[in-house]
Structure 1
C-alpha cells in the first residue's frame, strides 16, 4: 500500500485497543469502554477531551471491533441534511454507528435532528468534543448518551507514540532515526498526538540521509517555517483563532491585531472573525464596558455590508477597542452558575406575588397578590423576594472590580443590604 499521501498520524492510527496509547481509565483491562466493546453493547456516547488524545481513534476502534456500519460527519462542514441522509441509510442497516466530530459546533436544530434516531436505536451516536458537553450539547441528547472524559496524554504516553510510529510506520521504519532531543516536539505539539506525529514526520522528511538526527533546534526551525502557513480547515486555524481571542482577553491590542492580520492574509472568512468578536464582547468584557458589545455588533453588520478588503479596517478598529477595554467575565459566569443551579434544583415554584394573573380565577388563587410595583417607591426600588423560596438569597451575578461594575456593586449593595453579600 502507498502511504505517501497520508499524514503520519493517519498512517499509524491504532486499529485495536491493544495499540491505543493512553486513556487507561476507559480502555484498560477494567475500563468501562473496553467492557462495553467486549460485550458488544455500545451505548450512544460523548467523548470529551483535549485535541489529539484519541477521540476519533476510539470511535474507529469501536466500529472495527463490533463490525458495525460506520459513518463519519464533521460538525464544521455538515448540517441537518447530511444527518438525515445518514439516518435514512441507517434504517436499512442494523447497529449503525454515526461519529460526529466537534459535535459542540452543531446548533440546536442539528442536534435535535439526531434525537429521534438515537431514541429509536436507529443509530448509535458517538460525538467528540473539546468543549464541556454540559454547556454545548442539548440536554435531551445528553440524557440519552454516556459522557466519557478523556485525559491529556502524559509525556511518557507521547514518547511511546513516537517509538510506536518509528517502529510500525512503513515509511519511517525504513529510516534510521535518532531522537537526540524530544522536548521541542512535545512543547510545540502541546500534548496533541496528531500534531506530535505529523511534526515528527515533517522533521524527518526534511533531514537528508541516515541517521536522521532529531534535535530541539532542528524541530523549532522546521516548525517555524510551517507556522507561516494558515490552513482554514486545519489545526493552524484553531491555534491562530485561539491566540487571537486570548490576546484580546489579555488586553494586548498589538498581539490581537497581529493575529487578525494572520487570519486575513490566510483568507479567513471575515464574518467568522466578526462573529467571534461579538461573543467575546459579552463573554470577556461584559458590563465592564457595555459599549464593547455595541462596537462588536456594529462591526459584524459593517463587514457583512462592506466585505473584503475594506472590512479589515473595521475589524482592526473593533479588535483594538476590545483589546484595550476593561475586562469582566461576570455576566458569562452568572449564566453558567444559573444554568447549573437550574439543572440541580429543577423547576422550583415561582413566588406567588410575581406570578402572572391574567384571569379572575388566578387572582382568587393568590396569583400576583402582594406584588410591589417598583416604580411606586422612592428610587424606583423596594425589597421583595423574586427567587424561589428554596434558593432565596443566592448570588449568581458577582460584579468584578473594574470601575463600572464596582459602581454597580455599590448600587446593588445599597439596595439589597446584606441579602446577596454585595
Structure 2
C-alpha cells in the first residue's frame, strides 16, 4: 500500500468527479466538448488540490486520446520538444484525436519554454492542457494564452470535501475495511485548507495511526496532526492566510505588521511578482483617489521586481508596503464600480442619449446623433451642465467620495457642479 489514498481513489471518469459542475456537470462546457469530441487547448486555473490533474486525465480518457504529461518544475525545452515529437507520431494532424499534452504548474515555465509549445499547439500536433495556481494573464505568454481557453476551477466547499471522505471510506480497498466513525469534520477540513489531496493524506494518517474503531473528532485531529505554524507553504493554506494578513495589515494602516508578513512570505520563497500584484490591486481597491500616487508606486514596484528579481526586490516591496500602509485609505472607487455593475445587471442595455452618440455618417447626423452635445471646453471652467446618463437612471449617484482630504475636495467640486442633479 505504497500508493497514497488520494491516488487510490482518484476519479477515472466524469461521473465520479466531485465539484466543478459548471465545467463537468450535465451541461458543463467541458462535458459538451468531450461529447462532441472536440477538445480545445486550455488552461485550468485554480488553487492547489482541487482536481486539475485529475480533470486533465479524465478528458484524455473520455475523449480516447494519447496522453503525455510534463511538470514545469523538472522539465526543460529539450523535454518539451521530445514529447512534442512523440505526440506528432502518435496522432493525426488536425483530427479530433490529437494527443493531449498536460503541463502541470505551467506558470513555472520560462518564456522560452512556453515559446517552444507555440508551434505544436498552432499546427495541431498536440492539444495543450496547462494547470496553474496563478493568474494565467500574468504567467502565460500572450501568444500561448491567445491559443487557449481559460477555465477557472473553484475551491471545494465543505460538502465536496465530506463527499471525498465518504468515498474513501466506502470505496478504498484498505480504508473501507476499517471501522471509522466520522463524528466531526471541522478540524480536518481546516487542516486541509480546502486541498483535497492534503485532506485525504491527513485522513489516511489518522486512520493508519489508530486502532479500530477510529473515532474522528476535532480534538482527535488536532492532537494527531502536528502543524508547524511557522512554516510557510506557498502552495497551500499558509499561502492564502499570510497574503490575507499582509493585505489586511496594509489596509489597516499598520506598516509594522505589513513588513512582518512580507518577511514571512519572502523567507518562505513566495513569488515576488505575486506579492507585487497584490499590492497593485490594493493600491486601487483600498487607497484609490485618497492618494493616486499609491497606484503609480505600486505599478512601478511591480515593474521593478519583475526586472530585479530576488533577493534585491525585497527592498522595493518593503518601500511600497510601508508607503501604502501609511497612505490615506478609500474604497470609494471599488464601491463605485460595484454599484455601477449591479445597476447595469438590473437595468440591462439602456440606450445611449442621442447627444452623446458618435455621428461619423450623414445618416447618423440626420437621425440627431450627437445633436445638442455641449463641448465642455467651450464653456466657463470647462464645464457644461448636461445629461450623461440614460434617462431611465438619470440622477443616480454611484460614486460617493471617501472621507479623506483629497476626496473631500472632490466632494466640494461635485457638490458645486451638480447641485441640481446629484446629492453630495
Do the two structures share a fold, i.e. TM-score over 0.5?
A: yes
**Residues 310 and 72 (structure 1 numbering): CA distance in 2 closer, same or farther, change over 3 Å?**
closer
Superposition CA RMSD, Å: 4.9
Q: Normalising to structure 2: TM-score of the pair?
A: 0.66
Match of 1:417 in 2: 419
Match of 1:199 in 2: 202
Match of 1:399 in 2: 401
Of 112, 115, 140, 1:81 maps to 115
User: Does the aligned pair in 2 maintain the 1:288–1:402 contact within 8 Å?
Assistant: yes
**Residues 63 and 350 (structure 1 numbering): CA distance in 2 closer, same or farther, change over 3 Å?**
farther
Q: What are the ranges of 5 or more consecutive residues in structure 1 without an aligned counterpart?
A: 119-124, 131-149, 357-361
**Residues 313 and 354 (structure 1 numbering): CA distance in 2 closer, same or farther, change over 3 Å?**
same
How do 1:5-404 and structure 2 match up within 5 A?
A: 8-22=5-19, 31-32=27-28, 36=32, 39-41=35-37, 54=51, 57-68=54-65, 69-73=99-103, 74-78=105-109, 80-81=114-115, 83-88=117-122, 91-92=124-125, 96=127, 98-101=129-132, 104-107=135-138, 110=141, 113=144, 115=146, 125=149, 127-129=150-152, 152-155=156-159, 157-169=160-172, 179=182, 181-201=184-204, 203=206, 207=209, 214-220=216-222, 225-233=227-235, 236-297=238-299, 312=314, 314-334=316-336, 345=349, 351=355, 371-374=374-377, 377=380, 379-385=381-387, 395-404=397-406
Tell me, in whole angstroms, the C-alpha distance in 1 between the residues paired with 2:407 and 2:375.
27
Tell me, in whole angstroms, the C-alpha distance in 2 between the residues paired with 1:393 and 1:23.
42
In the TM superposition, what whole-angstrom CA distance separates every residue of 1:23-60 from its partner, at most 9, and x where no partner exists? 668766x5556973784456768988877555654443
Tell me, in whole angstroms, the C-alpha distance in 1 between the residues paired with 2:30 and 2:379.
65
1:281 CA displacement: 1.1
The number of aligned residues is 379
In the TM superposition, what whole-angstrom CA distance separates every residue of 1:277-303 from its partner, at most 9, and x where no partner exists? 233112221112334335535655776
User: Does the aligned pair in 1 maintain the 2:354–2:371 contact within 8 Å?
Assistant: no
1:261 CA displacement: 1.8
Tell me, in whole angstroms, the C-alpha distance in 1 between the residues paired with 2:359 and 2:30.
51
Q: What are the ranges of 5 or more consecutive residues in structure 2 without an aligned counterpart?
A: 66-98
**Residues 47 and 308 (structure 1 numbering): CA distance in 2 closer, same or farther, change over 3 Å?**
closer
Tell me, in whole angstroms, the C-alpha distance in 1 between the residues paired with 2:122 and 2:43.
22
Match of 2:96 in 1: none
Q: Normalising to structure 1: TM-score of the pair?
A: 0.67
Tell me, in whole angstroms, the C-alpha distance in 2 between the residues paired with 1:306 and 1:32.
43
In the TM superposition, what whole-angstrom CA distance separates every residue of 1:3-35 from its partner, at most 9, and x where no partner exists? 25xxx434422112332334668766x555697
Tell me, in whole angstroms, the C-alpha distance in 2 between the residues paired with 1:100 and 1:314.
30
1:102 CA displacement: 5.0
**Residues 221 and 278 (structure 1 numbering): CA distance in 2 closer, same or farther, change over 3 Å?**
farther
Please identify, of 193-202 and 174-183, the stretch whose mean Cα deviation from structure 2 is larger. Answer: 174-183
Tell me, in whole angstroms, the C-alpha distance in 2 between the residues paired with 1:310 and 1:110.
25
Tell me, in whole angstroms, the C-alpha distance in 2 between the residues paired with 1:355 and 1:336.
31
Tell me, in whole angstroms, the C-alpha distance in 2 between the residues paired with 1:264 and 1:108.
19
Tell me, in whole angstroms, the C-alpha distance in 2 between the residues paired with 1:51 and 1:337.
32
SS in 1 for 2:330: coil
In the TM superposition, what whole-angstrom CA distance separates every residue of 1:164-223 from its partner, at most 9, and x where no partner exists? 224545675677666454220123335443442243345556x37776664424533566
In the TM superposition, what whole-angstrom CA distance separates every residue of 1:388-415 from its partner, at most 9, and x where no partner exists? 7887656554433445324322321221
Tell me, in whole angstroms, the C-alpha distance in 1 between the residues paired with 2:54 and 2:420.
53
Tell me, in whole angstroms, the C-alpha distance in 1 between the residues paired with 2:412 and 2:225.
51
